[in-house]
Amino acid sequence: MNISIRIATLLALSALAGLSQAQNTPRVDQREAHQQGRIAQGAASGSLTAKETQRLEREQAAINQTEAKAKADGVVTKHERRKLHRMQLAAGHDIRHAKHNAKAASAPN
């Protein structure tokens, strides 16, 4: 009986470990952190206006929401990962465009 309890416990723990691994999205998280840094740097340097910064932050929030929905059932599917990738790719392009356009934040007085 002791052995069957140990086996059941090990099976339960391995199932939980598998579930937590399914929820991990390290590439999404790493890319998100990088994009947040790019936005912060652009805001600090003045290459992003306040409106551009707000729009880019809203876009990042939408990506976070989509990621949370994908993780909600415990499994991030290939389709959900593709959607997150496409959203982050678009956000990266938007950040680059906003930082390199002719608009600049006004100098603080």
Three-state SS string over 27-51 comes to: HHHHHHHHHHHHHHHHHHHCCCCHH
pTM of the full structure: 0.74
Domain range annotation of the chain: 2-99
What pLDDT, on the 0 to 100 scale, is given for residue 1? Answer: 47
Model confidence over 51-80: pLDDT tens digits? 999 999 999 999 999 999 999 999 999 999
